[in-house]
Amino acid sequence: MKVLGIESSAHTFGVGVWDGERIAANEKAFYKPKKGGIHPRKAADFLAENAGEVLGAAVKKGGVKLADFDAFAFTAGPGLGPCLQVGAAAAKSLAARFGKPLVPVNHCVAHIEVTKFFTGMKDPVVVYVSGGNTQILILEEKRYRVLGETLDIGLGNLLDSFGREMGLEWAHGSVIEELARKGRYVPLPYTVKGMDLAFTGLLTHAQRMLSGHSKEDVCHSLQETAFAMLCEATERAVAMSKRKEVVACGGVAQNSRLQEMLRKMCEERGAMFAVGPNEYNADNGGMIAYTGLLMKKAGMKFSAKDFKVRQRFRADEVEVSW
């Protein structure tokens, strides 16, 4: 079965090709705002302007003709409405043009599935950390159950907002990670409630500390505090669920200090830790193609309402019947 997947939930227009055996292409265009956060309308315009080129490049690299795909998968949510619309419209027109089925994919579930594919983990506790999302999940009774999550902003959002406050232009997470290596620890507010987390108090405090402390010290302390909170909640999830595997996925999972802390926690508990390739932790079409394949192979059926994009579309709403 050959599946084309389109991702457009935020700043990335990605097209992935599952050629029957592997992800044969994973092409993308990435919107970088000049200043501030993502403006949904501007991002959507950028995605639409680049859609044709990315699609062409993916099909060429993947070596599958558009007419030969068995299904067209797209990100149905969660994400920014105008951005989601771009990918959905592209997938719908392809499906109509070639008379093939559409597969609506949940973005979070796609991050999890592609990570399981690349790491070989079977039944892990999942730490899903991106700009808008921070959740700890396990698969139970055919759903990814959310054991813990952020009560306010996502971990990526915390780092981005703080990076902007420091005057950084882009790639906030990686610059913060670099600065943090040279810093020393200063205590910051630490908020874990059971397996849930809250980051806004930490953000406000860290922003205030920028006057009076070095950037390196604040970056270091911000990372150590936020990641320790996440490790504590994850450890609780591992203990409660008795799982022996942990994976991290999503954009922030690329942070090597976070990986180091999660790995250490897992070692101490006798659990295995793994993280997928960076290319697939960033938003991408390959994970949508692969998850679309799983859903299609499982014989899942969809109706018109499933093809509407949803800004809020939780992982636990999807029945995992594959």
Q: Which residues bind Fe ion (CB under 5 A)?
A: 130, 283
Of 51 and 112, nearer to Fe ion (C-beta) is 112
DSSP 181: T
Distance CA 146, CA 229 (A): 17
Rounded to the nearest whole angstrom, what is the least distance from the CB of residue 111 to Fe ion in the complex? 6
Nearer to Fe ion, 75 or 241 (CB): 75
Nearest distance, CB of residue 10 and Fe ion, angstroms = 7
Q: How far is the CB of 7 from Fe ion (least distance, A)?
A: 8
At its nearest, how many Å lie between Fe ion and the CB of residue 131? 7
The secondary element (H helix, E strand) that includes residue 114 is helix 107-119
Give bridge partners of residue 136 from the DSSP assignment.
Answer: 127, 148
Reported as half-sphere exposure (CB side, CA atoms, 13 A), residue 216 has a value of 6
The candidate with the shortest Cα–Cα distance to 146, out of 131, 136, 160, is 136
Nearer to Fe ion, 10 or 294 (CB): 10
How far are the Cα atoms of 33, 167, 172, 258 from residue 36, in angstroms, in the given order? Answer: 7, 10, 11, 25
Helices and strands per DSSP (H, E), number in the chain: 10, 12
Q: Give min distance, CB of 43 to Fe ion, in A.
A: 14
CA-based diameter of the chain, in Å?
63
Task: Supply the minimum distance, in Å, between the C-beta of residue 187 and Fe ion.
Answer: 31
- Decide whether 27 or 283 has the Cβ nearer to Fe ion: 283
Which residue's CB is nearer to Fe ion, number 8 or number 130? 130
Beta strands 12-18 and 23-30, pairing class: antiparallel
Minimum separation from the CB atom of position 251 to Fe ion (A): 6
Residue 139: helix, strand or coil by DSSP? strand
CB nearer to Fe ion: pick between 130 and 221: 130
CB of 130 to Fe ion, least distance (A): 4
Q: What are 13's strand-pairing partners? A: 29
> Could you tell me where the DSSP H helices lie in 134-214?
155-165, 172-180, 200-209
Nearer to Fe ion, 148 or 250 (CB): 250
Give dist(CA 189, CA 225) in Å, integer.
Answer: 8
In whole angstroms, give the CA distance from residue 101 to residue 60: 21
d(CA 180, CA 217): 7
Q: Give 32 or 297: the residue with its C-beta nearer to Fe ion.
A: 32
Per DSSP, what are the bridge partners of residue 59?
Answer: none
